[in-house]
Amino acid sequence: MTPDLFAALSVPVDEIEKLRNEIHRLDHAYYVLDAPVASDTHYDALMSRLRALEADHPEQITTDSPTQRVSGKAENAFTPIVHAQAMRSLDNAFSDDDVSAFWQRIVGLLPQAQPLFCAEPKLDGLAISLTYIKGILTQAATRGDGVSGEDVTNNVRTIRNIPLKLNSHNPPERIEIRGEVVMPRSAFEALNHRQRELGSKTFANPRNAAAGSLRQLDASITANRHLQFFAYAVGDLSEEGLKSQWQLLQTLRVWGFAVAVEGALVTGIEGLLDYWKKLGEQREQLAYDIDGVVYKLDNIEQQQQLGFTAKYPRWAIAHKFPAQEVWTKLLAIDIQVGRTGALTPVARLEPVAVGGVIVSNATLHNGDEIARKDIRIGDTVVVRRAGDVIPEVVGIVEQLRPDNALVFNMPDTCPVCDSVVIQEPDKSVHRCSGGLYCPAQKQRALEHFVSRKAMDISGLGGKVLEQLLQANLVNHPDDLYRLTYQQLLSCERMADKSATNLLNAIKKSKSTTLPRFIFALGIPEVGEVTAQSLARHFLTLDALMQASEEQLQAVNDVGVVVAMHVKRFFEQAHNQTVIAGLRAEGIHWAEVEVIKTPENSLFSGKTIVLTGTLSSMSRDDAKHLLTQAGAKVSGSVSAKTDVVIAGEAAGSKEDKARALGVSIWNEAEFLAALAPLNFANDKA
C-alpha cells in the first residue's frame, strides 16, 4: 500500500485494519525473516497514517495494533501469574556418557520404536510464556519457579519479533507459546557501551542484560534494548493436532514466530553427539549466546507415553557445552605494558576451567573498568571466555567479598621502565610516557622511527628490526646509527648488497628536517601536521623541548592533550638521553624557514580536509602548501570544517561534507586559490 491509496479507502475501520495487517507483514519480514520488503520511508508513512487514524478514532485502538507495542508502565512490582501448566526445567548431560545413558533409557522405554530426536540450540536467555486468546497476545509471564512467574506483558510487547497477532485465519481459542528471550551479542555490546558512556553499571553477560531489560518498570527502556524471542514449545499440544516437535517448530514459523534455524532431526547416539559437536563449532558465529543443545523425542505421542519425573520430562535432555562463565578467586592484579605504551591490568586467578581450558589470567581492560565494576583483590569474580577470546573478568560476587579485600589503583610510573604514566582527560587508557626508552615499546617505537614519513630508512622493516632486537644489537633509535657491516651480516637473509644498502640508507637519513625528526620521536598524538606546526612555531628543537604547556597550546593545532603529551615526553630524562645520542651520531637538519602567511591567502585560519587523489601533486605536498597558506589540515570532516578539497575517487568524507553543508572544492578550484600565493612546491 502506498500513501496515494489512502484516499481510496472511505471507511476508517477498513483502512485501519489494512494498515495493521500490512505493518504486521513488514515487521515479520524485517524482524523475523531478516528480509526487509519495504523502505524505512514507506514503513514510516504507514505507521504515521495509522497513528493519525487511531488518534481521530480512539475507540478503534486494539491491543494488537502496532502502535501499542510500547504502552504504559509496570506497577511497583510485577504481578505474580500461575502457569496453566508447569514450566519444567530439563535434566542436564555434561558428557558423552550422560547422553549415551539418556539414549539407552529412551530405547529401553520404547523397545518397538526407532526413536527420532529433534535437536535444537539451548538458548542462553530467559524463558517466557506467551498467552494468545483468539490469536491476540494477551499476557506474557516469566518462568519464575516453574509454577508461577511474573507478569511482564507490557515489556514483552515491545519485542519487535513477537507477533501481537498470530498469522492464522483460524487461530486456537487459547494457546500458550513458550520460548526464550535473548539479547543478541551486538545489542549487548552496544548497551554496555552506552552504560559506560553514562558512567552506569555494565552487564556481565547478555543473559543478565536480557533479564534486567524485561524487568524494567518503564517499557520504553525495554523497547530500546533490542531483545529477540525464539519460540520452541507450546503449553498444551493436545488440541492442535500436532504430531511431532519438528512439525510444531514449522507451525510456530507459520504463525509468525522466530525459531532457531540451527535445529535438526537426528537419530542414534552418533547423530546426537555429531549435532552437539557441529553446533559447538558454530557457536561463536551465532548472533546470540547458547550454552548447549536440547534433544527432544520428536514424536509427541511417544513424549506423552514417557511422561515426566517429579522434575524433568523423561523424553528430553540438555547437553551442556563446557562452561564459558565461572566463579573463582582474584589473587592479584599485575600490569602489562603493550607496544603502544598502554597499561593493561591483568587478573591473576585461582586456576579454573573455563570453556574447556584452564584459566589463571584474565584481562581487566583498564583502571576505569576496575573502578566501575568495583573489583578488589581477594574478591570472588565472574570470569568469562568465549571461543578464542581472551578470558575477561566481567564482574564480582559481592556477597562473597572478604573483609580484607584490597582496592586497586593504577600505578603512577611504568612497571617496566619507571617512566611517568599519563591518563588523558576523558579517556580510560593509562599510557607509559617512556616511548623511545621503554623496553616494552621499543619495537613499535623503532618501526615508527624508521618509517617513510619519519626518518625514511628503507630496507629496515619489521623482520630485520626484530632480529636486531633479539640479538641485542639495537635497543634505542640511536643504536641504529652505530650498526656495523658485520653485525648486519649476522641477520638472516642479509647479504653483502642488502647490508651495504641498509648502511647507506641509515647514513642518508642523518640529513633530515626538524618536522620529520619530531614526528619520528613517536610522541603520542603528534602526527605529521602537528610536527610541522611545532617546528615552525619554535624553530629549534631546544626551544620546543623547553616549552611549557601554556606555550605549547599557543601553537596552531595543539590543544590541552597534545601539549600534555609533548611536555611529559621531553621531561623524561631517558628520552633526553636518546635524543642527545641521535644528535651525537650526526642527525641534523637545516634551519626551519620562517613562513609568513600571505595576506591574500584564502586559506588563512581555515580548517581544510583533503580527500581523494589529486592529479597535480601528492597528498603530502598539498598538506604542505595548505600549511604554508595558513590553513589547519584535518583528517576528518566535522561541523568546524571550512572546506573539503575533493580529488578523484573521493569517498565518505565528501558525502559527510555535503550532509553538513561544508563547502566542497574540486582540484581546479584548489589550484586557483593557491595561484595568487606563488608558492614553490617544496617540502618542509
Residues taking part in catalysis: 122
DSSP per residue, 195-232: HHHTTPPPPSSHHHHHHHHHT-SBHHHHHTT--EEEEE
Query: Considering only CA atoms, which of 594, 581, 318, 337 is closest in space to residue 449?
Result: 581
Grid cell digits, residue 600? 591574500
Q: How far is CA 227 from the centre of its chain?
A: 17
DSSP conformation class of 29: I
Joined grid coordinates for residue 614: 589529486
**For residue 490, what is its C-alpha cell?**
649476522
Distance between CA atoms of residues 557 and 544, nearest Å? 15
Asked if 291 and 124 count as a contact pair (C-beta separation under 8 A), the reply is yes
Angle in degrees, 0-180, between the axes of helices 40-56 and 12-27, rounded to the nearest 10: 140
* Alpha helices per DSSP H over 198-343: 206-214, 219-223, 245-255, 268-282, 300-306
| CB-CB neighbours of 409 under 10 Å | 10
Other Cβ atoms less than 10 A from the Cβ of 245: the count is: 26
> Which secondary structure element, helix H or strand E, spans residue 85, and what is its range?
none
Residues with Cβ within 8 Å of 288's Cβ and at least 6 positions away in sequence, in order, are 123, 124, 125, 182, 183, 184, 185, 206, 228
Residue 116 DSSP one-character state: E
Spatial separation of the C-alpha atoms in residues 383 and 76, rounded to whole Å: 33
Whose cell is 548431560? That residue is 93
Residue 532 C-alpha cell reads as: 610541522
Task: Give CA–CA dist 229/130, Å, rounded.
Answer: 11
Enumerate the H helices of 57-184 as residue ranges.
96-109, 153-156
The residue among 309, 273, 312 whose CA lies nearest residue 293 is 273
- Rounded Cα–Cα distance for residues 126 and 130 (Å): 13
- Single out the residue of 359, 360, 369, 363 nearest to residue 346, CA to CA: 363
